[in-house]
Structure 1
Amino acid sequence: MSQRPDEPQPGAAPGVLAALIFYGGMLGVAWLLGVVWLDLNLLVWPEKVQGTTAMHAVLGAGVGLGAVVASRLVERYTTWGRKLGAGFGAMLGAMSPGQIQVLALTSGVAEEIFFRGFLQQAFSTAGWSGAYGEWVGLGLASIVFGLIHIGPERETFRPWTYMALGLGALFGLMYLYTGSVLGPVIAHITINYFNLEHISRQAQTSAENSSPEDER
């Protein structure tokens, strides 16, 4: 039986349950180590908080949309960008709207609370805390964030690691400037949502173009 063209094709994208378990576990680790052990506030850095909630949200949305536009330009005008996009399409396949929404939301919330709210704040207030402590924390959290974004084929996905390192630093600067994870969370969700939607659409188009015509 053939699928209708508007239906997502089977792919290797993580399911909703797997995403909830993985990112729920990440939040659990951040809570145990950050809140219970280090007595940190994972949503705000009290000593750094400035600006309004609305300003944090607008900043996050602006940064996120700017990163999405930049990724489209890279894919359009560079060979490695197109190769990276094709690699993601092959790895994730076409996704349903529900998968995209859950993956974007859970990854954006959990990763920013873990890497910014917990890790960056913990590194910044560790033994090297002082005049440069917050920059040490920013650098270390960004490096770890970049290192977890390594794809199965290093040659294809190496640019993804570098981009994650840069975005991690940008998210960290937003967190350092506002003292809140709200801006980084919104930026991260925005980037993941639009990029996953783009990857899914390309994967579905590719599958339709490469599949044989239905028998009459």
Structure 2
Amino acid sequence: MCAGILRVLQQFMSETAARLVLRGTLEPLRLSLESATRAELPRIIEALEPATRHFVDPVRKPQLMTQLKLLLSTSPASNGVGATAAPSDVRATTYLVRTEADASHARLAAKVMCESMGGRGYECQKVATAVSELARNQISYAGGGTIHLAPQLDPKRVLRVSAEDSGQGISDLTRVLSGTYKSKTGMGLGLLGVKRLADRFDVRTGPDGTQVEFEVWL
């Protein structure tokens, strides 16, 4: 059932965006791509109308909703049940992080991009966890920042994540990364965890801000 919805959404946005929108729509409904059934289709379509607001040209929005509603009248065999998504249309994307909602959005986007690249469950969970840690640190200690997701499909699949902020930097970075530094404010907390989750990790910090880059190899 969700495969049919994804196929419609992908006519109006990239596969990555379509998966992001659909997952973000299903979560508040306490559904998942695997658990959603045809009986849930009417309320999923209703929830998709506001969820697609920032992804679809307003001129094309009525066409999108019409095609989604057509799924209600198609037979189960024709709506894509059991189908797999088309090869990835995965593009580099930057997310502005200012609020907890932004952090959650970036986390979900990273997980969806990883899945779109063919990443396995534990690999995508690593990416999502690391992005969440970095985004929350940006909010708590730098007033926000940006998360940039950059997929590489050839010669090997790599998801590269860059996080930048304009905060005051991290003191005692060497001790933070060694696990021996205990900050009263919590600054730098989680950075060591990100390093352990990553296949490649680099961080630069100073009075003008912090830049963290890591890769997960898929």
Task: Give the TM-score, by structure 2 length.
Answer: 0.24
Higher strand share: 2
Higher helix share: 1
Task: Give the TM-score, by structure 1 length.
Answer: 0.24
